[in-house]
Amino acid sequence: MSVEIEQKKYRNFINGEWVPSNTGEVLESRNPADADEVVGYVQKSSKKDLDDSVKAAKGALRSWKKRSSVERGQYLYKVADILESRLDEVAETMTREMGKTLPEAMGETARGVAILRYYAGEGMHKIGDVIPSTDNRALLYTTRASLGVVGVITPWNFPVAIPIWKMAPALVYGNTVVLKPASETAVTAAKVLQCFQEAGFPSGAVNMVTGPGSVIGQAIIDNKDINGITFTGSNETGKRIGQGALARGAKYQLEMGGKNPVIVLEDADIDLAVEATISGGFRSTGQKCTATSRVIVHRSIYDQFKEKLLYRIDEITIGDGMNEGIWMGPCASESQLNTILSYIQKGKEEGATLIKGGKQLTDGPFEKGYFVEPTVFEHVKPEMTIAQEEIFGPVLALMKVDSIEEALTIANDVEYGLSASIFTTNIQHMLSFVDDMEAGLIRVNAESAGVELQAPFGGMKQSSSHSREQGQAAIEFFTSIKTVFIK
Ligand code: NDP
């Protein structure tokens, strides 16, 4: 057993070296499609490990930020090339660690490569403006300063793309980084960090410490040498991070949950809307913060839409995401499966009608994994738990409405405001939706899940700390503006 552990063991990356935690303990990462398979062992680190990594990041800061952003971008181009050459290996690790299908994992890894190249190029873009001064002998302009050491706390649902879309801009804008990846997907994170290591970053510029969120995440919140914290994950953890960061004056950025609606109006292309609902609701087993979870349909087309939706669900192939032809993999973990099943139970208890799925799959190829059927409820009332809380699983709540006004009232009647989609051919309805929908991502005739790396990403209401990630928006978090007056 100990030989097997040694072969599959991943260490922390601190100050340019792979080092074991001082605790001597490891965490197991298991395959959710076959819980007998251990994908790897990662360090169960302590606060001391995290503090060591912050020391390294602080030590590297001065020389890293003194380089030009163009030079920093060159390092990101190298990481992109290395990751691209390992795309298969990284994607396979992702599928085995958290269950999304291999084609999706490959798509995400390719996205990671593209994000690295995008931010490498951002190193050549302008970072300030010249502003006319009232004094005609003065030069008034803005420039940007890096924050310093940035703590990056990431979830398991996009284990390559999310760490990269936080680390790449942090680095190109002159910050040094400590990554604490989700424990569920820490092996995938280690493989990404190997690419950073091989790109030859100066020691300490990029670090990774694995271990429980309650210990390592908390140590990031508490460490006074971390100047900014960027987080994606649950609302509960996000609020804790926001409060902790605020209390010691650190900058923070939180991307959290969603309860994303799709509205299907009487003049919609129904087939298109059905495909988008299937894809938005069930790809990645519904475990995307932008996943569709509420389906608000005009009464006049409700039956037709429902019939087509249920027909398409029957075509979904479920199984181990490593196998060809599988469209939907397992839930990422046993606890995620149990959460989803408890929401399904709540839906039944509160009086919604289960019209598809609803059960855990346990026989034959499903025996050792955490599989659940694609699930649909109808007669869902807006105040029911399954219409209000983020489920993060393949569960849709169907609701019937008589008008776009009613649809918008229901769509906005939740705490969240991440992504929202509408299907209509009526331009007035499109514009009303753009104006009145309370969401950071507005999608017209397209599924709720779907982001472009060059555009700002983030939510309204409880979905975020009201900042934006990705695209050029990232500069706002990872730098501070300096206003300069020279006479
Ligand atoms: P968490 O918010 O618990 O985890 C996200 C990250 O925060 C992980 O790296 C985690 O570490 C870390 N963390 C956990 N506890 C703390 C803490 N006390 N202080 C600082 N960091 C901490 O989300 P889960 O992974 O548990 O998922 C739970 C729910 O969150 C999901 O069901 C879903 O609703 C939502 N979620 C939303 C996501 C989104 O993209 N909006 C992404 C993932 C989840 P560790 O892994 O070690 O616990």
Distance from Cα 233 to the centre of ligand 1, integer Å? 4
Task: Convert the pLDDT of each residue in 362-373 to its tens digit.
Answer: 999 999 999 999
Which residue's alpha carbon is at the smallest distance from atom 35 of ligand 1?
234
Mean pLDDT across the chain, nearest whole number? Answer: 97
d(C-alpha 318, C-alpha 355), whole Å: 18
- Going through 319-363 in order, the beta strands assigned E by DSSP cover 353-356, 360-361
- Which pLDDT value is given to residue 386? 98
Tell me how far the alpha carbon of residue 284 lies from the centroid of ligand 1, in angstroms.
17
Rounded Cα distance between 220 and 50, Å, is 7
Give me the percent of the chain exceeding a pLDDT of 90. 98
Q: Rounded to 10 degrees, what is the CA torsion of 199, 205, 208, 213?
A: -150
| Residue among 317, 389, 313, 315 nearest 354 (CA) | 313
Note the pLDDT of residue 450.
Answer: 87
Is residue 4 over pLDDT 80? Answer: no
- With residue 38 as reference, give the H or E element that holds it: strand 34-43
**So what CATH class is 260-451?**
alpha beta
Q: What average pLDDT score do residues 205-221 get?
A: 98
Specify whether the CB–CB gap between 442 and 434 falls below 8 A: yes
For domain 2-256+464-486, the CATH superfamily is Aldehyde Dehydrogenase; Chain A, domain 1 (3.40.605.10)
Nearest to 424, CA basis, from 313, 269, 291, 317: 269
Condensed to tens digits (0 to 9), the pLDDT of residues 406-458 reads: 999 999 999 999 999 999 999 999 999 999 999 999 999 999 998 999 999 99
Tell me what pLDDT residue 2 has. Answer: 74
- The whole-model pTM stands at 0.98
User: For every residue of 398-467, which 3-state class applies, written as one string?
Assistant: EEEECCHHHHHHHHHCCCEECEEEEECCCHHHHHHHHHHCCCCEEEECCCCCCCCCCCCECCEECCECCC
Residue range(s) of every CATH 3.40.605.10 domain in the chain? 2-256+464-486
The answer on pLDDT for 1 being more than 60 is no
Strands 139-146 and 130-131: antiparallel
The single residue listed with the structure tokens 């299908």 is 101
Query: Any residues with Cβ below 6 Å from ligand 1, and which?
Result: 153-157, 180, 182-184, 212-214, 217-218, 232-234, 237, 240-241, 255-257, 289, 339, 390, 392
Where are the CATH 3.40.309.10 domain residues in the chain?
A: 260-451
Residue 88 has pLDDT above 90, yes or no: yes
Torsion of Cα atoms, 455 then 112 then 293 then 295, to 10°: 50
Give the pLDDT score at 3: 79
Q: Rounded to an integer, what distance in angstroms lies between the CA atom of residue 287 and that of residue 160?
A: 15
Q: What is the pLDDT of residue 262?
A: 98
The yes-or-no verdict on residue 356 having pLDDT over 60 is yes
